[in-house]
Amino acid sequence: MNDFEKKILSFIDKEMQDETLKKKLKERIKLKLEEIKIELLKCGLALRLVEHSWLQKNWRPLTVVMLTGMVVCNYVLCPLLGLAPVEIPSEVFRVIEIGLGAYVVGRTIEKVSVLRK
C-alpha cells in the first residue's frame, strides 16, 4: 500500500462513523485503486510497444543541427581559419527557416497530443 492509498483510507477512518459503511467503502476504494493500477500498467506496456526507433524520433532535430552547423561552419569557422566561405543559396536558408518552423510546430503538436490523452 502506498502513501496515496494510506491517506485515502485514513481519511475515511477519520470522517466516517458507521463501521459497516466504512468497511464497505474502504474495500470498494481498494478494488478501484487496483483496477486503476492495472489500467496504468496496461497503458505503460502499450506505450512501450508503440515506441519508435531512435532515428525515427530524432530526424528533425538532427536535420536542424546539421543545417545550422553548415551555416556556422561557413560563416564562422571559414573566416576564422582564413578560408573563403562558400556561397549558400537563399533556398537553403528558406529550407532552414521552414525546417525550424516545422520542427517547433511538430514538437508542440506532439506534446499537446500526449497531454490530451
The domain segmentation of the chain, as residue ranges, is 3-49, 53-116
C-alpha span between 96 and 102 (Å, rounded): 10
User: What pLDDT tens digit does each residue of the chain (117 aa) get?
Assistant: 678 888 888 888 888 888 898 899 889 988 988 888 888 777 776 666 566 677 777 887 788 788 888 889 999 999 999 999 888 888 888 888 887 788 788 878 887 877 776
Which residue, 97, 93, 95, 61, is CA-closest to 74?
93
Got the DSSP string for 47-83?
HHHH---HHHHHHHHHHHHHHHHHHHIIIIIHHHTTP
